A = this chain, B = another copy of it.
Amino acid sequence: MPKLGMEPVRRRALIDATIAAIGDAGTLDVTMSDIAGRAGVSSALAFHYFGGKDDLLLATMRHILAELAADARVALKSAETPRARLSAILDVNFSAKQFRPEIIAAWLAFYVEAQRSEPLRRLLRIYAGRLHSNLMSGLSALLPREQAQTTAEGIAALIDGLYIRRALKQGEPDAASAIALVEDYLSAKLP
């Protein structure tokens, strides 16, 4: 029973289904039919709205990054000191919403795919740039320029490293200890 204004609803449902499918499979190697099935529509509709598999995947990654960016924006708004900004960023990156098996799996899968897809690479680079500048917004008040840069890179690498290492473990991700590890790094670096 066709209704009007379904487009945004379907788009969102398909993106959510894509994340779920990738989360289950641990790869981008999921079928359009699977995704569409999870969203409760035919695969043809997914093509109708997104044009093709690559586009759906790209839209999905874009969605994930947009959520992350929105969360970060909110968290930073209530941080009152540079040090608090840093903790806020970590909290967001390892929040219950982000540090979930599905999101982690999608994250990794997209990283791998980025080696082949220029648009995807661009997307991830933008995210990396945003993370870096967010980190610098806290670090540059606490460390000399050079050291701030190095530390920002270190934190970024640590975050990605902690994400990827999750792939080897089973059970629920342990955000607390991940955060603790990065905070420990920060403590060692800050005077």
> Taking beta carbons and an 8 Å cutoff, which residues of A are in contact with B?
25-27, 29, 105, 108-109, 111-116, 121, 124-125, 128, 150, 153-154, 156-162, 164-165, 167-168, 180-181, 184-185, 188-189
Indicate if the CB atoms of A165 and B128 lie closer than 8 Å.
yes
A124 contacts which of B27, B154, B158, B168 (Cβ < 8 Å)?
B168
Contact of A161 (CB < 8 Å), options: B121, B125, B156, B189: B156
Taking A161-B160, A162-B161 as contacts, is the C-beta distance between A168 and B116 under 8 angstroms? no
Which of chain B's residues has its CB closest to A157's CB? B161
**Dominant secondary structure at the A interface:** helix
Partner of A29, one of B29, B114, B180: B29
Chain B residues whose CB sits within 8 angstroms of the CB of A125 once the complex forms: 168
Which residues from B are CB-within-8-Å of A160?
160-161, 164-165
**This chain's copy number in the assembly:** 4
List B contacts of A161 (CB < 8 A).
156-162, 164
- CB A54 to nearest CB in B, in angstroms, measures 14
- In the complex, the chain B residue whose C-beta lies closest to that of A121 is B168
A157 lies within 8 A of B128 (CB): no
Some 26 contacts from A to B, beta carbons below 8 A apart, are: A25-B116, A26-B113, A26-B116, A27-B112, A27-B116, A108-B111, A108-B164, A111-B167, A111-B168, A114-B167, A121-B168, A124-B167, A128-B168, A150-B181, A153-B181, A154-B158, A156-B161, A157-B158, A157-B161, A157-B162, A158-B158, A159-B161, A160-B161, A161-B164, A185-B188, A188-B189
